[in-house]
Structure 1
Amino acid sequence: MTATVIVLRDKKGNRRAEGAKTLIEYAYQRLRRDILGGALPPRGKLRIEHLRGRYEIGSSTLREALTLLVADALVVSEGQRGFRVAPISLEDLQDVTRMRKMMECLALRDSIERGDDQWEAGILAAHHRLSRIEERLSDGAEAMAESWENRNDLFHKALISACTSRRILHFRDILYHQSERYRRFSLMSGPGGRDIHGEHRAIMDATLARDAAVACRLVEEHMDKTLAAMAPLLAAAP
């Protein structure tokens, strides 16, 4: 069976660099971006007829894209009643953070033990790219949230890229992306006195020094600070 494709073009009609994508992937990315950015708020009802008008995409394609987002824990299926944006809560963030710390440190310890010169170079390059955008966060965190998230993801992946366990990396990736909404809300609410750039630098330095104990402690503290920043906001949420 041949997949239906859509060619994305800019306002001048030129084909975009990302080329052709399946309609389902296109719908998935649009919905995911709006959920993460808050345009589709937590607990909000995802009515197919409304989404069709919003995205100009067919019903069956939207349902398949929403099913993919259920697997990402960003959407909840309500059976015959349709779909709803997954809620956010302090209890959920606490659970995700606890599991993330376990998976992240398992992967990081393995990477520190096995990483080579190429692994070290990848960490330095990813940190440099992340640093460039973190220097400009004060100019408007909301406008840079997606770019920052992409580079933050690449930096943390570089740290653990020498890990040899596919299962650890798989579950780590699931937990990382389940915490993405919380990181974005934390970023857009302001740094709150945090030196995020300094935290990343310290994690990198300890990792490159092959000090697994310090590196893991810093990673755990890094996640706990996001949890602490979000706790008052989530506790006050209805």
Structure 2
Amino acid sequence: MTTNIDIFDTLQDRLISNEFEHGAKLRAEVLRSEFRCSASTVREVLFRLSTFGLVDFQEQRGFRVPQRSPEKLIELTHLRVLLECEGTVLSIRQGGVAWESRLAAAHHKLSHIEKRIHASNDPSDLISIWFSAEKEFHQTLISACESETLKQTHNRIYAQFRQQLMKADRKFNFISENIRHHADILDATLAADEALTRKRIHDHLARHLTGKTLEA
């Protein structure tokens, strides 16, 4: 039996990975057939997704996938920089060896996948595992900050950020830069250099602060 949690998780992944076109209408009647549940259950899940910013809702118009927007991407990028810098610095101060080990392991996985993408002529089959590994690395950076509010807020901002970019990111034009940036972030973090860590995180995300990466 498909539960509300299953439907939420499935739709969230599909919305972030751009399985639905930006601006597309999300029809409860269609989705209920797919998930074999009631239309009211689908609407409940879509309302919840709208609180995460992954679905737009308007009276009389229903639910739609948010449009891509340079202005929104710039705003989300600023928020990611703020949250990841603060969360990572707090993790450096409070995380200890256990957190450092988790971070190194998350980076090892991400680096391996990104190097495979870099060497591939057609990395389309690596998109989903790259997304998962990239998310894991950035969430591990802030995981020891001891602020559930910061982590929950970052999770929502990250999801909206990735939803804006996944269509452009499928080309992986940035992968060489990403490999270097993620390694630089790891090195600065493990060295407990707070100022350098903030700079590395900012440098990693700076290309999105113009909004032009949506044009890729």
Taking structure 2 as the reference length, what is the TM-score of the superposition? 0.88
- Larger helix percent: 2
- Secondary structure of the 2:23 match is coil
Are 1:141 and 1:187, in contact at CA under 8 Å, matched by a contact in 2? no
Alignment of 1:160-199 (within 5 A): 160-192=142-174, 194-199=176-181
Percent identity, please. 31
Are 2:185 and 2:197, in contact at CA under 8 Å, matched by a contact in 1? yes
Cα distance change of structure 1 residues 130 and 54 upon mapping to structure 2, 3 Å threshold: same
Measured against aligned partners, the alpha-carbon deviations of 1:187-236 in whole angstroms (never above 9, x if no partner) come to 213324742111101100000001111111110111112445x61535x9
Are 1:100 and 1:176, in contact at CA under 8 Å, matched by a contact in 2? yes
1:115 Cα shift?
Answer: 2.4
Greater relative CO (CA pairs within 8 A, separation 6+)? 2
> Which residue in the other structure is 2:12 paired with?
32
2:198 is aligned with 1:233: no
1:74 Cα shift?
Answer: 1.0
> Which residue in the other structure is 1:101 paired with?
81
Runs (4+) off by over 6 Å = none
- Secondary structure of the 2:20 match is coil
- Secondary structure of the 2:127 match is helix
The root-mean-square deviation of aligned C-alpha atoms, in Å, is 2.1
Q: Select which of 182, 196, 200 maps to 1:214.
A: 196
Q: Which amino acid in structure 1 is aligned with residue 62 of structure 2?
A: G
Alpha-carbon distance in structure 2 between the residues aligned to 1:74 and 1:149: 16
> Which residue in the other structure is 1:149 paired with?
131
- Larger strand percent: 1
Alpha-carbon distance in structure 2 between the residues aligned to 1:232 and 1:118: 36
Cα distance change of structure 1 residues 120 and 189 upon mapping to structure 2, 3 Å threshold: same
206-215 vs 73-82, which deviates more? 73-82
Are 1:206 and 1:214, in contact at CA under 8 Å, matched by a contact in 2? yes
The number of residue pairs the alignment matches comes to 214
Alpha-carbon distance in structure 2 between the residues aligned to 1:98 and 1:183: 15
Alpha-carbon distance in structure 2 between the residues aligned to 1:175 and 1:160: 14
1:168 Cα shift?
Answer: 2.2
Alpha-carbon distance in structure 2 between the residues aligned to 1:99 and 1:233: 17
Alpha-carbon distance in structure 1 between the residues aligned to 2:41 and 2:195: 47
* Larger gyration radius, structure 1 or structure 2: 1
Are 1:23 and 1:61, in contact at CA under 8 Å, matched by a contact in 2? no
